[in-house]
């Protein structure tokens, strides 16, 4: 049975990522919330206003993005979620034009929840594996996240 904090994380994946609901970011991500592991060169993304463009860029490149939360573990105010994503690269992103290829990636996130909002999130997903599926084999210095 999911508890309240796990439900926040599940809503985050469903409403923000699967539905592209940017208003849900304001509701579920604290004004000073930190998303780690998503910005260029490991830079943190802080607050809803900085996070929304990241979601928009990813969803414009992969408009059919669908994330399934495969497993969650909750301990106190922290929730670990293992997820799988399927998406088709139909828009320009990651430093190269759309390929039309469908990719599958896995990832994990650890979130700290306070008062029904994510205040800290550590994110790790297989961007290199995704790029290989898209036909790219970038050198580490050439790999770009979704900041450009």
Q: What is the DSSP string of 43-84?
A: --EESHHHHHHHHHHHHHH-TT-EEEEEEEEEETTEEEEEEE
52-64 pLDDT per residue, tens = 998 998 899 999 9
β-partners of residue 103 are 87
Beta strands 117-125 and 29-36, pairing class: parallel
pLDDT at residue number 148: 52
Asked whether residue 143 is domain-assigned, the answer is no
Q: What is the CATH number of the domain that holds 78?
A: 3.10.450.50
How much of the chain exceeds pLDDT 90, in percent?
70
Number of domains in the chain: 1
For the segment 72-103, what is each residue's pLDDT rounded down to a tens digit?
999 999 999 999 999 999 998 767 789 999 99
In a domain, 78, yes or no: yes
Residue 132 lies in a domain: no
pTM: 0.86
DSSP secondary structure, the chain, as one string = ---HHHHHHHHIIIIIIIT--HHHHHHHEEEEEEEES-SGGG--EESHHHHHHHHHHHHHH-TT-EEEEEEEEEETTEEEEEEEEEEE--S-BTTB-----EEEEEEEEEEEEETTEEEEEEEEE-HHHHHHHTT----TTT---TT-
What is the model's pLDDT at position 79? 98
In a domain, residue 131? The reply is no
Comparing C-alpha atoms, which of 24, 9, 121, 127 is closest to residue 68? 9
Rounded to whole angstroms, the Cα distance separating 140 from 143 reads 5
By percentage, how much of the chain surpasses pLDDT 70? 86
Q: Which domain does 52 fall in, by range?
A: 4-82+108-124
In a domain, 15, yes or no: yes
Instruction: Look at residue 95 and tell me if it is in a domain.
Output: no
In a domain, 21, yes or no: yes
- Residue 45: closest CA among 118, 116, 105, 94: 118
Is the model's pLDDT at 130 over the cut of 80? yes
73 in a domain, yes or no? yes
């Amino acid at each position: 049975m999911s508890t309240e904090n796990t439900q926040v994380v599940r809503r985050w994946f469903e409403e923000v990522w699967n539905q592209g609901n940017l208003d849900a970011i304001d509701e579920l991500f604290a004004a000073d919330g930190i998303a780690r592991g998503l910005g260029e060169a490991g830079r943190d993304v802080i607050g809803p206003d900085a996070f929304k463009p990241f979601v928009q860029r990813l969803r414009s490149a992969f408009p059919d993005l669908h994330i399934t939360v495969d497993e969650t573990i909750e301990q106190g105010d922290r929730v670990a979620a293992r997820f799988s994503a399927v998406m088709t690269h139909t828009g320009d992103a990651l430093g190269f034009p759309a390929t039309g290829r469908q990719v599958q990636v896995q990832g994990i996130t650890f979130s700290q929840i306070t008062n029904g909002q994510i205040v800290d999130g550590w994110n790790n997903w297989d961007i290199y594996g995704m790029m290989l599926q898209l036909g790219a084999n970038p050198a580490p210095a050439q790999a770009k996240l979704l900041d450009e």
